[in-house]
């Protein structure tokens, strides 16, 4: 018997919506979240593949030769722009395609956009798994990136729109949870395929097709969101779908609110221009800063290159992949901590606690490497084990803070009239900075050596100060009361609320 949840609408009115947590909604949520699995699998797979000898020999022979050169510099083994391009081309493609995907979401709906994502992704997988030369490899990776751009735009939107209001946050974090599970599965796959010579890397890249296939077939049975149907003026279909996913015929109030919200959204002609107005400054600065800071924690330096990194500090191939599997497990479990705590202790506490934990672990890792790892020796086993432990300490704090909250906070701070445009800005900033870190990390490690960890630790101090002075607490504040209860009361940001040059006025609520 599904639970009945009576949700108070977020504009604070006393009206209640009836919504059951239906099996159908849960199945739709689980299937759509496989978009996160595709993204996470990609994040996790490339580091392991780029440390496999068979792969390097075929596509990057100079890196292979340097890797096995006896007196090679520890920190520069893998510094190769083409090798980095393999990892980072996906993010550049995702950055560009997410703008196209946002139009596709509005015009054709969330479901076709997810289907398109899985199809791009599948073609990319085939090209990658069958790659004969570097061009085929990179083109395949770009197609995967387009798939990721489409999925990351459509899936969180889809999850938000089908969820009963009370479990919307939990369903959103399901996406990030799938990202971490994807990273974990990729690490396990790499662990086994690295022993399959000479084609193990093909299996690693090919298995990315599994989550894409689930999304592709699954999206045939899942719903289109009522919001999207109503937005595209399919009112009867929208009403029928709302009844189906809410498990009740009593949906009139919610239906009317959706109709009103989509009419209001249509009245805002230029959301991107509104976003540039002074009144939108606080939310825009915070959305971009959250993404820039999320990436400057250095998380993807660890996620993409964990096996490379562990090899750099002297682990053998197997041992380094095993260490990344341990790290992946910590990442998944710690995300569950965030689900449990975020609405109890609040966003700021999680972010600040994580800053302290990340700063300490990064600094000690940097110190250990500086003291023990020269350019040509290996770390003693004891020290290397400590490095892995500290990486896990670091990853756990990221996973319950800047990981999920980097996505959550920009989605809850914008007022209706700039919300979707603002969120698109946040998504593309994330992709841009993910790309920059992926492209730069190996060269930075080559030039800065262990200092790279102090570089990231420095950023962590900065982001901690940002949270202390500029990030308001948004826990338990209804989205449409943010302006009154958060921005107009904030010591610094309230001055941006004074003028009236602002945003085109819209007085209704939305569901995104």
Which residues of this chain interact with ligand BGC, rule CB under 6 A? 43, 176, 179-180, 183, 294, 299-300, 303, 331, 403, 406, 430, 434
Comparison of 425 and 496: residue with beta carbon closer to ligand BGC = 425
Q: Show Cβ contacts of residue 213 under 8 Å, excluding neighbours closer than 6 positions.
A: 118, 122
Q: What counts of helices (H) and strands (E) characterise the chain?
A: 23, 2
Our CB check for ligand BGC shows the closer of 402 and 487 to be: 402
| Alpha carbon distance 177, 395 (integer Å) | 14
Contacts of 166 (CB under 8 A, 6+ apart): 5, 7, 19
Q: Which is nearer to ligand BGC, 271 or 403 (CB)?
A: 403
Q: Provide the minimum distance between the beta carbon of 93 and ligand BGC in the complex, in angstroms, as a whole number.
A: 15
**Cβ neighbours of 276 (radius 10 Å):** 12
Within 13 Å and on the Cβ side, how many CA atoms surround 485? 13
Minimum CB distance to ligand BGC, residue 189 (Å): 17
* Of 219 and 401, CB closest to ligand BGC: 401
What count of other Cβ atoms lies within 10 Å of the Cβ of residue 67? 17
Element at 17 (helix H, strand E):
strand 17-20
Within 10 Å of residue 20's Cβ, how many Cβ atoms?
17
Chain-centroid distance of CA 100 in Å reads: 18
Q: Helix H segments across 346-415?
A: 347-372, 381-399, 402-413
Q: Which residue has its beta carbon closest to ligand BGC?
A: 403
Smallest distance, Å, CB 290 to ligand BGC? 10
Q: Name which of 44 and 271 has its Cβ closer to ligand BGC.
A: 44
Q: Are 162 and 14 in contact (CB under 8 A)?
A: no
Rank residues 183 and 286 by Cβ distance to ligand BGC and give the closer one: 183
Residue closer to ligand BGC by CB (options 50, 180) is 180
* Eight-class DSSP state of 495: G
Minimum CB separation from ligand BGC for residue 33, in Å? 14
**Residue 32 or 427 having the CB closest to ligand BGC:** 427
Closest CB to ligand BGC among 180 and 413? Answer: 180
Q: What is the 3-state secondary structure (H, E, C) of 418-465?
A: HHHHHHHHHHHHHHHHHHHHHHHHHHHHHHHCCHHHHHHHHHHHHHHH
The end-to-end CA distance of the chain, in Å, is: 28
Q: Which is nearer to ligand BGC, 180 or 372 (CB)?
A: 180
Q: Taking the complex as a whole, how short is the minimal distance between the CB of residue 176 and ligand BGC, in angstroms?
A: 6
Closer to ligand BGC by Cβ: residue 137 or 290: 290
CA 510, CA 33: separation in Å to the nearest integer? 22
Shortest gap between Cβ of 236 and ligand BGC (angstroms)?
38
As measured in angstroms, the least distance from the Cβ of 339 to ligand BGC is 14
Judge if the upstream peptide bond of residue 306 is cis by omega within 30 degrees of 0: no
As measured in angstroms, the least distance from the Cβ of 179 to ligand BGC is 5
Q: How far is the CB of 43 from ligand BGC (least distance, A)?
A: 5
Contacts of 392 (CB under 8 A, 6+ apart): 326, 327, 330
Find the shortest distance in angstroms from Cβ 439 to ligand BGC.
14
Neighbours of 416 (CB within 10 A): 23
Sort residue 105 into left (φ over 0), alpha (ψ -120 to 50) or beta. Answer: alpha
CB of 302 vs ligand BGC, minimal distance in Å = 9
- Other CB atoms within 10 A of residue 132 CB: 10
């Amino acid at each position: 018997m599904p639970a009945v949840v009576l949700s108070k609408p977020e504009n604070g009115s006393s009206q209640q919506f009836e919504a059951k947590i239906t099996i159908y909604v849960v199945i739709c949520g689980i299937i759509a979240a496989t978009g996160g699995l595709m993204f996470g699998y990609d994040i996790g797979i490339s580091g392991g593949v780029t440390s496999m000898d068979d792969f390097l020999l075929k596509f990057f022979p100079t890196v292979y030769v340097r890797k096995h050169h006896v007196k090679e510099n520890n920190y520069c083994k893998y510094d190769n722009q083409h090798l980095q391009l393999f990892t980072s081309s996906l993010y550049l493609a995702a950055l560009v395609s997410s703008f196209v995907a946002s139009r596709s979401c509005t015009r054709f709906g969330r479901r076709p956009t997810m289907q398109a994502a899985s199809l791009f992704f599948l073609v990319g997988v085939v090209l990658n798994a069958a790659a004969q030369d570097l061009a085929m490899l990179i083109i395949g990776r770009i197609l995967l990136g387009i798939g990721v751009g489409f999925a990351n735009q459509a899936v969180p939107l889809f999850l938000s729109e089908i969820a009963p209001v009370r479990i919307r946050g939990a369903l959103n974090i399901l996406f990030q949870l799938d990202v971490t599970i994807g990273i974990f599965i990729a690490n396990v796959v790499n662990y086994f395929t690295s022993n399959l010579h000479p084609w193990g890397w093909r299996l690693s890249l090919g298995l990315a097709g599994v989550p894409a296939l689930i999304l592709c077939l699954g999206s045939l049975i899942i719903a289109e969101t009522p919001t999207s149907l109503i937005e595209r003026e399919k009112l009867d279909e929208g009403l029928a779908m709302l009844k189906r996913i809410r498990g009740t015929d009593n949906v009139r109030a919610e239906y009317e609110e959706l109709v009103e919200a989509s009419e209001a959204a249509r009245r805002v002609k230029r959301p991107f221009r509104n976003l540039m107005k002074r009144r939108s400054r606080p939310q825009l600065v915070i959305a971009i800063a959250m993404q820039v800071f999320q990436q400057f924690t250095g998380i993807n330096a660890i996620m993409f290159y964990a096996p490379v990194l562990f090899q750099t500090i002297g682990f053998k191939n197997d041992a380094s992949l095993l260490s990344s599997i341990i790290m992946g497990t910590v990442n998944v479990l710690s995300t569950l901590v965030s689900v449990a705590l975020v609405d109890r202790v609040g966003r700021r506490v999680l972010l600040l606690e994580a800053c302290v934990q990340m700063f300490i672990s990064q600094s000690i890792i940097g110190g250990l490497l500086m003291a023990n790892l020269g350019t040509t020796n290996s770390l003693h086993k004891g020290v290397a084990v400590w490095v892995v432990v500290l990486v896990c300490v670091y990853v756990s704090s990221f996973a319950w803070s800047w990981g999920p909250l980097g996505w959550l906070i920009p989605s809850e701070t914008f007022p209706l009239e700039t919300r979707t445009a603002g969120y698109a800005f946040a998504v593309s900033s994330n992709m841009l900075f993910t790309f920059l870190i992926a492209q730069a990390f190996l060269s930075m490690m080559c030039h800065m050596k262990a200092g790279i960890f102090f570089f990231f630790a420095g950023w962590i101090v900065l982001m901690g100060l940002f949270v202390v002075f500029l990030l308001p607490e948004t826990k338990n504040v209804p989205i449409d009361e943010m302006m009154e209860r958060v921005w107009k009361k904030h010591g610094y940001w309230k001055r941006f609320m004074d003028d009236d040059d602002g945003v085109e006025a819209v007085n209704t609520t939305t569901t995104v």
